Amino acid sequence: MTSRFSAIQLAFLLLGSLVLLFIVAPLAGMFLSTTPSQVFETAREAEVRNSIWLTIYTSLAGTLVFSVAAIPLAYLLARKHFPMKKLVTGIIDLPVVIPHSAAGIALLGFVSRESALGKMGSAVGLDFVGHPAGIAIAMAFVSIPYLINAARDGFSGVPLRLEKAALTLGASPFRVFFTISLPLAWRNILSGLILMFARGMSEFGAVIVVAYHPMITPVLIYERFGSFGLKYARPVSVLFILISLALFIVLRWMAKERNGEEVKQ
């Protein structure tokens, strides 16, 4: 039995190593083919810096703005039973399933000047097409399922008896939500926010349809590859991966620190 179990473990280890190699090898090859001087030269280009900054703040803005509605929706999905709930859950997952170029086409019709939203934006001098606001909407569209699903799982893990006890003692539903449900589900919500932000930063297909200009970094990488080839696209890719990885590590570390402080309290 022991030898058989060890053989299974060895087989699983081999298969797992192949998966890790599949993930790491292309990235390692790209990094090894790019010299530090190329990365530093690329980082000095204003076009590259502007695109990275645009990518970060549009993804962050989309995450924060849409989370205001996404988190309450996640709570309803976790706590309430209503007709066609499974249909609503399926709709939420649609942006993950459909091709993102198709998502961009759908969004373009939604935010164009002829649409109701586009006319509202035009009334205040805002044109979503070719604007950072349009980029943020496209990013949020493809990434919001990550936040909703993570927050829903977090709220599902909050003991229902705590909420009922607080209501029995006279607390309002709003107070119960903000003092019990939200703090106890915060770890999952924070993870969902980080995933939504990270996924938004990496979006290409939907954004390129809604707003080719101004260029976010994934679009800039695509343009440089199409115009100048792999040699000019690779340093931008390496730089963007390094910055994205650094941001992701910092956000994860901040989330871990916050969770650690909550446990101590």
Q: What is the pLDDT of residue 245?
A: 92
Q: Which residues of the chain have pLDDT under 70?
A: 1-5, 257-265
Is 175 a domain residue?
A: yes
Domain span holding position 81: 34-264
Residue 264: per-residue pLDDT: 56
The predicted structure's pLDDT at residue 23 = 94
pLDDT recorded at residue 125: 85
Closest residue by Cα to residue 220 from 210, 209, 212: 212
Residue 226 is assigned to a structural domain of this protein: yes
CATH classification of the domain holding 234 = 1.10.3720.10
Number of domains in the chain: 1
Residue 233 lies inside a defined structural domain of this protein? yes
Rounded-to-integer distance, Cα 129 and Cα 117, Å: 11
In this prediction, residue 124 carries a pLDDT of 86
**What is the DSSP track for 146-195?**
HHHHHHHHHHHTS-HHHHHHHHHTT--HHHHIIIIIHHHTHHHHHHHHHH
Query: Residue 166 falls within a domain, yes or no?
Result: yes
Residue 16 lies inside a defined structural domain of this protein: no
Instruction: Give the pLDDT score at 123.
Output: 87
> What DSSP character marks residue 80?
-
pLDDT given for residue 1 in this prediction: 47
27: in domain: no
In a domain, 132, yes or no: yes
227 domain-assigned: yes
Contacts of 63 (CB under 8 A, 6+ apart): 140, 143, 147, 193, 196, 197, 200
